[in-house]
Chain A
């Protein structure tokens, strides 16, 4: 199966949207070849601004440009976008509700060999806690393209998490993204796995294997972390007796917490097991790390089989 990284989809989509929306500008912090904003820079050089290795200023400059009607996409690695510039995003962007799109590429341990300093595993948590912020983490090429299209039409601060390595295409061109809506990629009655990003593929692999054992798994793609699809979570809790979340992120604060909050507040009373990181990772190839930390299809299969 053809694998494409969501960052590549983002790079393509940004160029397509750049032709359509003349007020899109892209800013990067010396990682434009990695985040793929370089494609936009090559096409629209006057609308591309390299801000150097200075993420705090990049976010502030993006805020200023949005105040003059631009749609700034400010991109860097997820760890620096969400971490280094968190307070700039909170105070200069989200509080005044500005139309700044923060793009964090290289999310999760899939980032690989660069190691823990470059693996954002807390970004979904700290971004979704900020009022006014929308948080999206697409699962594949087509979803990423649709999310970027939506972000251009939408108004308001948004965090887009991308991944470094290729992931199989789950969707095709006809896919429609709706914020606040999860997508049932595969249905089943025995258990539900809520997954996000590359983990949607791992969940699908686990579900496929479980189906050969007669276990029917519902896999929900929760690309829209904030707003989150409460209805789908509660409907799944009624439909299936076991619930799981799967994310390339700390199990605290991210998708797992978001789902747990919905279940607890509704008094759903259905057990939930969170699959993800519970500590720091290490260097290694992304796929090897997924295996090591139980985030690949096999790891998800084993985690859900235990319950």
Chain B
């Protein structure tokens, strides 16, 4: 897909994710919107070797959503790619539904059960280590939130990834600067993020704009060429991106948009799909 198509796709997937959260009347709006462009670049930019008809294809690349609460974003993508029927999005978070509040491996296309912050990156390290052991040229991508970096386990995982020189591991940090109780800076300052990862032995590729699909695409291309060390793509993003009234607002971390809010947000996004 070229950049203009990626942009349209991202707008459509934002609509799908917001609609799913709205129907569930529960879910994480802000963080699903902030990472959407990163995921669109990854999944539609030709980087992921995957086949929706063979979710367990033994040559596929892996993606682990370490910030599992952004599940609606990845669910919208997997549904769009045909890993499961799009109607599943209508039942998000409901009793008996395939799509649980946070990702689970039984969902086609989901590679790890996540949601408890800090755990997904360890699972990604395990996948990358196993690929190395099997001498298979497969990539493992993971996506973390900046608030998530407060979890000690993240740094255990970061340390182990560089110790084992996992150049098949690429992590995105969706730096939207907000967490449930306020700004990351006020709750527990995680900066300087890039310096921390570099001092742990990672190659860091900082983006200017984590919503610039062209810039994200170039960064992933660059990350794939790095050898003998894991790569972190540091993506400054806006929480709630694409829903103007929710952008940069802590209050939209874990709530669904109301009917009224949907009627404002959706037409704006629909324009962007054209």
Contacts of B111 in A (CB 8 A): 67
- Docked-complex contact B125 and A68, CB < 8 angstroms: no
Contacts of A60 in B (CB 8 A): 119-123, 125-126, 153, 157
B269 in the interface (beta carbon within 8 A): no
A33 in the interface (beta carbon within 8 A): no
Chain B 153-195 near chain A by CB (<8 Å), digits 1 or 0 = 1001101100110000000000000000000000000000000
- Segment at the A interface, from B18-26, B29-37, B129-137, B204-212: B129-137
- Docked-complex contact B122 and A65, CB < 8 angstroms: no
- Closest chain A CB from B210 CB (angstroms): 25
A179 to B81, CA, bound (A): 43
- Segment at the B interface, from A91-99, A222-230, A270-278: A91-99
Chain A 94-128 near chain B by CB (<8 Å), digits 1 or 0 = 01100000000000000000000000000000000
- Closest chain B CB from A307 CB (angstroms): 45
Beyond A47-B133, A64-B112, whether A88 also contacts B126 by CB under 8 A is no
A204 in the interface (beta carbon within 8 A): no
Interface hub of B116, B120, B122, B164 (most chain A Cβ within 10 A):
B122
Contacts of B159 in A (CB 8 A): 52, 54, 57
A62 in the interface (beta carbon within 8 A): yes
Beyond A57-B153, A60-B157, A95-B113, whether A68 also contacts B119 by CB under 8 A is no
- Docked-complex contact A96 and B105, CB < 8 angstroms: yes
- Docked-complex contact A88 and B119, CB < 8 angstroms: yes
Closest to B104 in A: A96
Query: Interface majority SS on A: helix, strand, loop or mixed?
Result: helix
Size class of the B contact interface (CB-based, 8 Å)? 20 to 34
Interface residues of A in 237-265 (CB under 8 A from B): none
A87 to B151, CA, bound (A): 13
A196 in the interface (beta carbon within 8 A): no
A62 to B160, CA, bound (A): 12
> Of A46, A52, A56, A91, which contacts B133 at CB under 8 A?
A46
Contacts of A87 in B (CB 8 A): 116
Interface residues of B in 126-146 (CB under 8 A from A): 126-131, 133-134
B115 in the interface (beta carbon within 8 A): yes
B89 in the interface (beta carbon within 8 A): no
- Docked-complex contact A57 and B122, CB < 8 angstroms: yes
- Docked-complex contact B130 and A57, CB < 8 angstroms: no
Chain A 48-83 near chain B by CB (<8 Å), digits 1 or 0 = 010110101101111111111110100000000000
Contacts of A96 in B (CB 8 A): 104-106, 112-113
A38 in the interface (beta carbon within 8 A): no
- Docked-complex contact B113 and A61, CB < 8 angstroms: no
Closest to A64 in B: B126
- Docked-complex contact B113 and A64, CB < 8 angstroms: no
Contacts of A62 in B (CB 8 A): 126
Contacts of B164 in A (CB 8 A): 49
- Docked-complex contact B119 and A61, CB < 8 angstroms: no
A51 to B37, CA, bound (A): 34
Interface residues of A in 141-181 (CB under 8 A from B): none
B96 in the interface (beta carbon within 8 A): no
Interface residues of B in 81-114 (CB under 8 A from A): 104-106, 111-113
- Closest chain B CB from A32 CB (angstroms): 15
- Closest chain A CB from B157 CB (angstroms): 5
- Docked-complex contact B119 and A65, CB < 8 angstroms: no
- Docked-complex contact B157 and A57, CB < 8 angstroms: yes
Closest to A93 in B: B113
A61 to B123, CA, bound (A): 5
Closest to A72 in B: B126
Contacts of A51 in B (CB 8 A): 156, 160
A139 in the interface (beta carbon within 8 A): no
- Closest chain A CB from B15 CB (angstroms): 30
Chain B 208-245 near chain A by CB (<8 Å), digits 1 or 0 = 00000000000000000000000000000000000000
- Closest chain A CB from B209 CB (angstroms): 31
A95 to B157, CA, bound (A): 21
Closest to A96 in B: B113
- Docked-complex contact B119 and A92, CB < 8 angstroms: yes
> Of B64, B113, B118, B160, which contacts A52 at CB under 8 A?
B160
- Docked-complex contact A57 and B156, CB < 8 angstroms: yes
> Of B106, B115, B125, which contacts A61 at CB under 8 A?
B125
Q: What are 18 A-B pairs with beta-carbon distances under 8 A?
A: A51-B156, A54-B156, A54-B160, A56-B119, A56-B152, A56-B156, A57-B122, A59-B122, A60-B121, A61-B129, A63-B123, A64-B125, A64-B126, A65-B129, A67-B105, A68-B134, A87-B116, A92-B113
Q: A49-B129, A56-B152 are in contact. List 10 more A-B contacts (CB 8 A).
A: A56-B122, A60-B119, A61-B123, A61-B160, A63-B122, A63-B123, A66-B126, A67-B112, A68-B131, A96-B113
Ordered nearest first, which 3 A-B pairs have the shortest CB separation? A64-B126, A60-B122, A57-B156
